[in-house]
């Protein structure tokens, strides 16, 4: 993994003369340029739009001007994107020490946070397995210069760094990012944040009655893990928020085998759990006063002599029976036990789950927005506010009773498919709902489209796991 983990700060502009900075980025709003600067941008066919860079004519100059668009249209997300263009340029041109003049004047601290998020997020490259030149990472430091709010900028850096760690979990392939690796990551984060981490192995969770998770895991030799992290930063009587994540470390489809084309991308099928781990990772550093529990069922979905078959009936942790009509709809099977466990053992304020659950959500919303389904409109409204803050789009789909009827089975309580050819993403949520305790506010995030293959965001490397929605969760929690 390569990314910058924290920012340096420099209050005095005079220190910018320090030779060590190979590049110094200087901000400008398109409507606030003086004549010369405007001419410089124009000579390079630019106007100072968000993230546009203009270079001094003198090739010895270290100064690069970056545009922030019109000052009346500034948003935190635009600051993130501008930061992303600066660092992308610095990496592509092999700079090692970069100074960035802080663009913040009176916009408030969230702008500082967002700008520093952009700097760190865009510094990430996944290079672990490149042993030649391409694997070299030259960037050593990013220094913020000027009057930015240091606390807010540091917070942004902590959060963004946690997002980068999670991208890494997603990018490592299935032979490396195994359930055991996820469990070890949880233990490390737990140690850092003073959390209690409990891991149930196959034998244990099978004995406990997690027949649905065990059913999916029975086809693989790679040891599956049921991972629980408990962070108690709040008062004892305060209800915890529970974050549940799909930790499917490789999805072949099982006996209902997936086609070969692009199957390698199913290493990303644990990106829901990466959201959960990312939030816990940031929480471990930020230490907010609240209680948060993370639950991640993690396994490969493989095929072979001991794998489950279409038609098999499994019994979940809450006692409900499930007819497995397609072994490729495995995410909902492992989440059924995680949601049942969360509902039985805690009295949560609310539960959020994150999963690369359906290909259908990519058809519906593309790689642009996360599918959101919930049993509680207040929770949805709060999620939308956080989504606007963090620039991570969510779009709500309905979860009416008619959809829930579509996952009823003739031979068991529920089946893991909806009606053929209809509302596949909602069917996934309708299935999950059967395993959420009555009266518990709950929201389901289908991140199959947004956790990788994201394009045209300067601070997300193409072909990498995106780490999207972690920032939204932290904003929602008020961490």
Q: Is 328 in the site for Mn ion (CB under 5 A)?
A: yes
Which residue's C-beta sits nearest to ligand BES? 359
**Between β-strands 313-315 and 291-301, what pairing exists: parallel, antiparallel or unpaired?**
unpaired
Question: In the bound complex, what is the minimum distance in angstroms from residue 21's beta carbon to Zn ion?
Answer: 46
User: 73: closest CA among 108, 30, 42?
Assistant: 30
Question: In the bound complex, what is the minimum distance in angstroms from residue 454's beta carbon to ligand BES?
Answer: 13
Q: Is 77 in the site for Zn ion (CB under 5 A)?
A: no
Name which of Zn ion, ligand BES, Mn ion, none residue 458 binds, using a CB cut-off of 5 to 8 Å depending on partner kind.
none
Burial class (CB in 10 A: 0-12, 13-18, 19+), 454: buried
Q: Indicate the residue among 97 and 251 with the shorter CB distance to Zn ion.
A: 251
Question: In the bound complex, what is the minimum distance in angstroms from residue 299's beta carbon to ligand BES?
Answer: 12
Catalytic residue among 332, 415, 457, 471: 332
Contacts for 431 with CB less than 8 Å, ≥ 6 apart: 332, 336, 407, 414, 416, 418
**Between β-strands 291-301 and 225-232, what pairing exists: parallel, antiparallel or unpaired?**
antiparallel
* Region near Mn ion per CB under 5 A, out of 104-112, 136-144, 236-244, 323-331: 323-331
Question: In the bound complex, what is the minimum distance in angstroms from residue 304's beta carbon to ligand BES?
Answer: 18
Residue 134: active-site member: no
CB of 359 closer than 8 Å to CB of 250:
no
| CA–centroid distance for 2 within its chain | 17
Which residue's C-beta sits nearest to Mn ion? 328
Name which of ligand BES, Zn ion, Mn ion, none residue 353 binds, using a CB cut-off of 5 to 8 Å depending on partner kind.
none
Name which of Zn ion, ligand BES, Mn ion, none residue 112 binds, using a CB cut-off of 5 to 8 Å depending on partner kind.
none
Instruction: Report d(CA 444, CA 295) in Å as an integer.
Output: 14
**Between β-strands 141-145 and 8-10, what pairing exists: parallel, antiparallel or unpaired?**
parallel
CB of 91 closer than 8 Å to CB of 59:
no
The angle, 0 to 180 degrees and rounded to 10, between the axes of the packed helices 150-171 and 109-121 is 30
Q: Is 269 in the site for Zn ion (CB under 5 A)?
A: yes
Q: Indicate the residue among 311 and 319 with the shorter CB distance to ligand BES.
A: 311
Catalytic residue among 38, 46, 258, 320: 258
Report angle CA 298, 299, 303 to the nearest 5 degrees.
160
Q: Indicate the residue among 213 and 231 with the shorter CB distance to ligand BES.
A: 213
Q: Is 251 in the site for Mn ion (CB under 5 A)?
A: yes
Residues that bind ligand BES (CB under 6 A): 251, 269, 326, 328-331, 356-360, 362, 417, 424, 448
User: What three-state secondary structure class fits 165?
Assistant: helix
CB of 394 closer than 8 Å to CB of 384:
yes
Question: In the bound complex, what is the minimum distance in angstroms from residue 269's beta carbon to Mn ion?
Answer: 7
Question: In the bound complex, what is the minimum distance in angstroms from residue 115's beta carbon to Mn ion?
Answer: 38
Q: Indicate the residue among 117 and 269 with the shorter CB distance to ligand BES.
A: 269
Residue 81: active-site member: no
User: 185: closest CA among 250, 274, 285, 269?
Assistant: 274
H or E element, residue 161: helix 150-171
Please compute Rg for the chain using Cα positions.
Answer: 23
| CA–centroid distance for 88 within its chain | 20
H or E element, residue 340: helix 331-345
Q: Indicate the residue among 241 and 339 with the shorter CB distance to Mn ion.
A: 339
Question: In the bound complex, what is the minimum distance in angstroms from residue 12's beta carbon to ligand BES?
Answer: 49
Q: Indicate the residue among 104 and 216 with the shorter CB distance to ligand BES.
A: 216
Name which of ligand BES, Mn ion, Zn ion, none residue 116 binds, using a CB cut-off of 5 to 8 Å depending on partner kind.
none
User: 342: closest CA among 257, 440, 218?
Assistant: 440
Which residue is associated with the tokens 């409109």?
A: 377
Name which of Mn ion, Zn ion, ligand BES, none residue 4 binds, using a CB cut-off of 5 to 8 Å depending on partner kind.
none
Structure tokens at 260: 């070969």
Q: Is 424 in the site for Zn ion (CB under 5 A)?
A: no
Q: Indicate the residue among 85 and 330 with the shorter CB distance to ligand BES.
A: 330
> Of the candidates 77, 230, 251, 353, which one interacts with Zn ion according to CB under 5 A?
251
Binding site for Zn ion (CB under 5 A): 248, 251, 269, 331
Binding site for Mn ion (CB under 5 A): 251, 328, 330
Which residues are annotated as catalytic?
258, 332
């Amino acid at each position: 993994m390569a990314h910058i983990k924290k920012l340096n700060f420099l209050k005095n502009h005079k220190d910018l003369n320090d030779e060590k900075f190979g590049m110094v980025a200087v901000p400008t709003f398109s409507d606030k340029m003086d004549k010369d600067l405007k001419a410089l941008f124009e000579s390079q066919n630019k106007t100072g739009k968000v993230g546009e860079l203009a270079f001094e004519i003198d090739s010895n100059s270290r100064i690069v001007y970056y545009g922030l668009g019109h000052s009346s249209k500034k948003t935190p997300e635009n600051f993130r994107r501008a930061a992303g263009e600066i660092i992308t340029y610095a990496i592509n041109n092999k700079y090692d020490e970069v100074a960035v003049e802080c663009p913040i004047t009176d916009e408030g601290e969230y702008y500082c946070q967002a700008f520093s998020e952009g700097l760190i997020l865009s510094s990430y490259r996944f290079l672990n397995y490149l042993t030649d030149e391409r694997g070299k990472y030259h960037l050593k430091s990013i220094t913020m210069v000027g009057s930015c709010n240091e606390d807010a900028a540091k917070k942004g850096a902590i959060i963004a760094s946690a997002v980068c760690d999670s991208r890494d979990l997603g990018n490592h392939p299935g032979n490396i990012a195994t359930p055991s690796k996820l469990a070890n990551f949880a233990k490390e984060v737990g140690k850092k944040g003073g959390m209690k981490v409990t891991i149930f192995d196959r034998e244990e969770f099978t004995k406990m009655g997690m027949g649905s998770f065990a059913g999916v895991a029975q086809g693989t030799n790679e040891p599956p893990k049921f991972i629980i992290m408990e962070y108690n930063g709040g008062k004892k009587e305060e209800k915890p928020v529970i974050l549940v994540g799909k930790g499917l470390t490789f999805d072949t489809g099982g006996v209902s085998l997936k086609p070969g084309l692009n199957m390698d991308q199913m290493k990303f099928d644990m990106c829901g759990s990466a959201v959960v781990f990312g939030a816990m990772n940031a929480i471990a550093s930020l230490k907010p006063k609240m209680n948060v529990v993370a639950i991640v069922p993690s396994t490969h979905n493989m095929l072979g002599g001991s794998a489950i078959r279409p038609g098999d009936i499994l019994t979940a942790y809450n006692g409900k029976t499930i007819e497995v009509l397609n072994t490729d709809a495995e995410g909902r099977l492992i989440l059924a036990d995680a949601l049942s466990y969360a509902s039985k053992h805690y009295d949560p304020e609310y539960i959020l789950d994150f999963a690369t659950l359906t290909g259908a959500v990519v058809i519906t919303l593309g790689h642009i927005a996360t599918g959101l389904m919930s049993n509680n409109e207040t929770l949805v409204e709060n999620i939308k506010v956080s989504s606007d803050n963090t620039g991570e789009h969510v779009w709500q789909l309905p979860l009416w009773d008619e959809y829930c009827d579509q996952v009823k089975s003739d031979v068991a309580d529920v089946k893991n498919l909806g009606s053929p050819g209809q509302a596949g993403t909602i069917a996934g949520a309708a299935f999950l709902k059967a395993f959420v305790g009555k009266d518990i506010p709950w929201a389901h995030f289908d991140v199959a489209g947004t956790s990788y293959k994201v394009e045209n965001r300067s601070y997300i490397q193409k072909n990498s796991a995106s780490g999207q929605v972690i920032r939204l969760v932290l904003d929602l929690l008020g961490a």
